[in-house]
Structure 1
Amino acid sequence: MKLDSKYFDGIRLRPDREAAKKAEAPVCGWEGCNLPGTHKAPVGRDQEGRYYHFCVDHVRLYNKSYNYFSGLPDTDIQAYLKASMTGHRPTWKMGSNSSGAMPADKPSGPPRRWSKHNRGNFDIFGEGAARAPTPSRKARPLEIKALETLGLPQNAAGETVRVRYKALVKQYHPDANGGDRGSEDRLREVIQAYKLLKQSGFC
């Protein structure tokens, strides 16, 4: 193989990127250092996009001592840290709108009028919702027994249970019977039945 062949002159070698980078890099910005400044370091706050150029050793020293909050008062630092918790985006208190004002109790303008046919569909949070009956659920065996103890049907409402309980307590309490303690067992059953129904959400 001839080393002085014309074909060797046309071969392109991969360029040494590190060497090119060092050749193009400015001198290190550290005082007294003449090495190439191949590493960038931020200048500081309010100077985004501007950088110092340091060699690898001096950029490490600079990064250790870099302080973004240098020269800021403590109140500004605390405000910045608090805003960083929400990504520096505005926030409002719960139940308020974007202006920070609480919503009015009643909307302005004339009240909407609904017919009796669609009131249940649209007046979810208005007067119709307050009058809406609570959905009934099937009573469990212990709850059925407690209702029978009070002498009530399985579909008895909460107010009915409370009224019946008060009436039975008055009826079986020893004070109402002239001190007769013969109905204490029955009173105890009534009280236990009412407690069970109360814990179950019947009243």
Structure 2
Amino acid sequence: MITNQALANQSKSGNGQEPINIQRRIVMGGALAALLVSPRSIMADDGEDTEAPNDPFIVLLSGIYQPVAAGQGPESNLGLTKVNLNDGTYSTTQIYPVFGIAGTGEHKHKKKKAIGMFYVQFGGNLCAYDLPGGAIAMSFNSVPAGAPPGFNGFVPFPDGHNGVFLEGTFELMIIEATGVYGAFQGGHNHMVDKLHQLANGQFDEFCFCNISTYQFP
């Protein structure tokens, strides 16, 4: 994701950073595998669990970001009150299912279809997920003092084609959740992001989001 704090970290590349980030990925991979072993089912607000996601569930943000012009956001603001997706500050890309959410069970040899849209402020700290059966609004956590490169910020790596890969992890708080995601309000999203800034200035997203009811410390 792109935030003011994250973009500020782009200039911090240097010797010793890449091994730190590789080590963090190894740790995160182990934690993710542990979560996949015994997922819990979350009940929808109305007591029905047929369409409710697992806890945790995982989605992939993928594709070129497109700006959302003022007044051209989603109808009824997705029913959310903590974000204004029509104010002209958001950009959007697609959401694909990975684990524990509608669309995950498609044949493994077929390309999965997008199940929703992701909205993010490039110059702010808010974002929203438009998903089957509801929507979720989140805020990016700030960078804690003494955090290593790549924690709630990006570390840049040249792509060899006049662009740059921006890699990092991000922690987000779920500030609002509707529909079958109501139980996730107050929960947490752990992002593992490899954002590609192309030579033409566009941003091509590739970001895994591990969303749970777990409250991040």
TM-score when scaled to structure 2?
Answer: 0.19
Larger relative helix fraction: 1
Structure having greater relative contact order (Cα 8 Å, sep ≥ 6):
2
Q: Bigger radius of gyration, 1 or 2?
A: 1
TM-score when scaled to structure 1?
Answer: 0.20
Larger relative strand fraction: 2
